[in-house]
Amino acid sequence: MRAAVEYFAERGVGDHSLRAIAEELGTSHRMLIYHFGSREGLLVAVREAVEAGQRDALAALAADADADPRAVARQFWSTVSAAARRYGPLFFELSAHAMQGRPHASGLSETAVEPWIELLTGICERAGVPPERARVQARLGLGVARGLLHDALVTGDAAGADEAMDLFVDLVLPPKGCA
């Protein structure tokens, strides 16, 4: 799976045949069909692996109940923005495919939004955001983060995106002990 993720991160989704992908991965197209069913199945697995890896990274950072949510947000931003230099174009390409209704991206709405909002809602609540507002704030945070990642990838201005995220964290999360 790691090799497949790296393959698509390097080349994009494009129109690569399953045979060409298999050759690059050092396996046969029959093995890929056995494990994933089709090229589209492989793309679904790649998308899910990238998303799950990032969510797991955030969950690990947020696991400490005593952790300052602002520090967690900043550390996660640092982690995800560094990873986005490599995997961001693939994520946004697959997001565009989901918007176009392509079959291999059809489940993106279930894995790219709701699990993130659930995780971020818990972090917001721990930070002192009222429960009735936490889910909306979580969605806002996800949208801001994705927008800033897109901005940094398109413009190359990672420092500007970092500065904007820093301000956003200050605006929406109270300092530890001030909730």
Query: b vs e for 35-64, b when ≥16 Cβ sit within 10 Å of the residue's Cβ?
Result: ebeebebbbbbbbbebbeebbeebeebbee
Record the pTM: 0.82
Q: Closest Cα to residue 62, out of 133, 134, 151, 126?
A: 126
pLDDT score recorded for residue 91: 86
N-term to C-term CA, the chain: 42
What digits encode the pLDDT tens for the residues 21-47? 999 999 998 999 999 988 888 888 888
The pLDDT of residue 30 is 93
Tell me: pLDDT of 110 over 80.
no
Judge whether 121 and 57 are in contact, CB under 8 Å. Answer: no
Amino acid 176: pLDDT? 62
pLDDT of residue 179: 47
- Whether 177 has a pLDDT exceeding 70, the answer reads no
Q: How far is CA 101 from CA 79, 88, 89, 113, 115, in A?
A: 30, 20, 18, 16, 20
Report DSSP state, residue 175.
P
pLDDT in tens, 118-134: 989 988 888 888 999 99
- Of all residues in the chain, the percent with pLDDT exceeding 70 is 97
CATH number of 47-172: 1.10.357.10
Domain residue extents for the chain = 47-172
Q: Residue 111 has what pLDDT? A: 79
Are 165 and 145 in contact by the 8 Å Cβ rule? The answer is yes
* Closest by CA position to 146, among listed 173, 164, 124: 164
Higher pLDDT, 46 or 154: 154
| pLDDT tens digits along 58-87 | 888 888 878 888 888 899 899 989 988 888
- Report the alpha-carbon distance of residue 162 to residue 85 in Å, rounded: 13
Sign of the CA dihedral running 38, 88, 150, 56: positive
Whether the pLDDT of residue 149 is over 70: the answer is yes
**In a 10 Å sphere around its CB, with 0-12 CB exposed, 13-18 middle and 19+ buried, how is residue 138 labelled?**
buried
